[in-house]
Amino acid sequence: MRFFVITRFLVVASFLLGMTSEGKVHAINMESTRFIIESANTSSAAGDKSSSGYKLSDTIGQLAAGQFSSSGYVVKAGFQYLHSVIPFRFSISDINIDLGSLLPNTPSTAYTVLTVAFGSAGQYQVTTIEESPLKTLSGNAIVDTSCNGGTETCTESTAKLWDSASAYGFGYNMAGNDIPADFTSSSHFRPFPDRLLAEAPAVIMSSSNVSTSRQATLTFKANISPIQPAGSYQTVVSFVATPSY
């Protein structure tokens, strides 16, 4: 059985000002169904300059830029104080995940490694969602896992124990940097949110720590019952990495 994972990497930064004939300035609302950008002001110009003897990076437009201090406090105002020397990057080690031939009551796993480089003054997050359950072209589906059930029933936002060979479904585990606290062991899983059910993407990595390499391993798991119809099952899982500044 095969299914495939793709990544959709979203970084949005734009701002536009318009001046009317009366001299009034109007800011354009920066939002869509997937993002909202809020800012009190914006850079009107920016760039990198260099020669054999210097390198200069600048922005123009910040009001009252500079460092201000007194007894008990220091205020650093200006875009350059938020300038990051670590570019934001997001990578996935393997985007073609093969769970192999599934056997009833015999869980199968595969994994991929998510890596984030982040150096801004805000924080980043990585979210995930499946476009549909694992299913065949004819519509047979492997249900999303509920883990062991009972007191160990997992949800899209809460990982629970899934180690029973008679608990069926499809889900994922997280291990590594900046992951949700409910992934307390390699046996704790969640189901993916399902876009077909209008469920919200799940945050699987989030941090304000500055680093050139924050890594987390995402393990996919599937387990089927003896009455699961035969066929080739597949789905698409989307990942979105978003920085804030």
173 and 94, same domain (yes or no): yes
| Terminal C-alpha separation, the chain | 42
pLDDT tens column, 9-35:
332 222 333 334 444 445 556 677 766
pLDDT in tens, the chain (245 residues): 333 333 433 322 223 333 344 444 455 566 777 666 665 555 666 677 788 888 777 766 666 667 788 888 877 666 666 666 788 899 999 988 999 989 999 999 999 999 999 887 778 999 999 999 999 999 999 999 999 999 999 999 999 999 999 999 999 999 999 999 999 999 999 999 999 999 999 999 999 888 889 999 999 999 999 999 999 999 999 999 988 76
Cα gap 113→130, rounded to integer Å:
17
* Whether this model's pTM surpasses 0.75: no
CA–centroid distance for 100 within its chain: 26
Rounded-to-integer distance, Cα 77 and Cα 243, Å:
20
Token pair listed for 157: 């936002």
- The domain boundary residue, chosen from 36, 60, 82: 82
Which DSSP state fits 194? B
Both 74 and 127 in a single domain? Answer: no
CATH number, domain with residue 95: 2.60.40
Q: Do 61 and 96 lie in a common domain? A: no
Q: Are 225 and 104 in contact (CB under 8 A)?
A: yes
Q: Residue 72 sits in which domain range?
A: 17-82
Q: Which residues contact 156 (CB under 8 A, 6 or more apart)?
A: 190, 191, 192, 193, 199, 200, 202
For the segment 162-198, what is each residue's pLDDT rounded down to a tens digit? 999 999 999 999 999 999 999 999 999 999 999 999 9
CA distance 131 to 238: 7
Last residue of a domain, one of 28, 57, 82: 82
CA 147/CA 98 separation, integer angstroms: 21
Report d(CA 223, CA 169) in Å as an integer: 5
The string of DSSP letters for 70-121 reads ETTEEEEESGGGG--SS--EEEES-S--B--S-BTTB-EEEEEEEEEEE-SS
Are residues 94 and 159 located together in one domain of the fold? yes
**Total tally of structural domains belonging to the chain:** 2
Q: In 3-state terms, what secondary structure has residue 38?
A: coil
